[in-house]
Amino acid sequence: MKIQWYPGHMAKAKRNIRNDLQLVELVIEILDARCPESSRNPDIDSFAKDKARIMLLNKADLADPVQNRAFSEAFRRRGFYSMEIDARERAGLKKLNPLIERACAPIIERNQKRGILTPVIRAMVLGIPNAGKSTFINSYVGKAMARTGNRPGVTRGNQWIKVNRRLQLLDTPGITWPKFEREIVGLNLALIGSVNDEILNLSELVFYLLKYLIRYYPDSLPERYGEGLMSVREALPAFSEIARKRGCVKKGGEADYERTARIILEDFRSGRLGRITLEHGSSDGEGEGCERAGG
């Protein structure tokens, strides 16, 4: 199942981001902890390579805690500052302040040598659609400053937001990139809701998810849908059994896979299937699902 999603407005947003990068010292990238590598826009590495970088693994409460730690450590080994967050929890975001100070220490020191005793740090917040950028900003600032929504494409324009006298954030639209080089990247982004559901074949998408869960998280399906799934080790029988359990059956007894797919997808996205990561951290910092998933 080949997935690509790059609406026309994203090309303009990308150009604006590249132009505005000259205004900031720090780039804060919001990743989805359920697929940190797939949710990393590879374009950012090329046009923000001279900036201080912080990777925030958002929705860490929905992801496998073992994999959260593995990916955080992998990013640190690659020279990034990294932190796991739930963007809805303001208290946990207070830990970000010292991380920003450490990431920007050379910039602060340089400015102080120039006589700027209280330098303002300007940071750009980047991420793919539906990664939680606006939710993060609103929680971090402590009030609704950025528009939010549980769908991709809510933020359309850049917006400066003052956090305090030392820090300003530039909110940007969520953008993907023109071509997903690996099929698994498109699948992962579709599963976490960063691709418009209307262009997807949800039955095929959820069939892939079921195969992945049976391989890596075999207890997730019986715990959610009943003990009848305990012995099921193939995706199609699991799909059919869940359809029966949830009453998604057409006339004549045929399983309604489309309705069932929407139920399973919502259960995954909301965390009702448990804490699941769609990639597994490796020693070189990339991830793998059923195959290598790097950006």
pLDDT digits (tens, 9 = 90+) for 157-185: 577 898 988 899 999 989 999 889 899 99
pLDDT at 290 over 90: no
Parts of the chain belonging to CATH 3.40.50.300: 8-171
Q: Are strands 287-288 and 121-127 parallel, antiparallel or unpaired?
A: unpaired
| CATH fold label, 8-171 | Rossmann fold (3.40.50)
Give the ranges where the chain is alpha helix by DSSP (H). Answer: 8-20, 42-47, 65-77, 90-93, 96-103, 105-113, 133-141, 183-191, 202-216, 220-225, 235-245, 257-270
Task: Answer whether 209's CB lies under 8 Å from 191's CB.
Answer: yes
**What pLDDT is attached to residue 284?**
45
**What pLDDT is attached to residue 96?**
95
pTM of the model as a whole: 0.88
pLDDT band for 147, please (50, 70, 90 cuts).
Answer: low
**What pLDDT is attached to residue 113?**
82
69 class by beta-carbon count within 10 Å (0-12 exposed, 13-18 middle, 19+ buried): middle
Mean pLDDT, rounded, for 20-40: 96
- Cα–Cα distances in angstroms (integers) from residue 207 to residues 5, 212, 241, 260, 293, in the given order: 20, 9, 13, 11, 18
- Cα–Cα distances in angstroms (integers) from residue 254 to residues 203, 260, 277, in the given order: 14, 12, 32
**What pLDDT is attached to residue 252?**
87
Parts of the chain belonging to CATH 1.10.1580.10: 183-288
Domain covering 183-288 assigned CATH 3.20.20.70 in the classification: no
The residue written with tokens 């208290």 in the block is 91
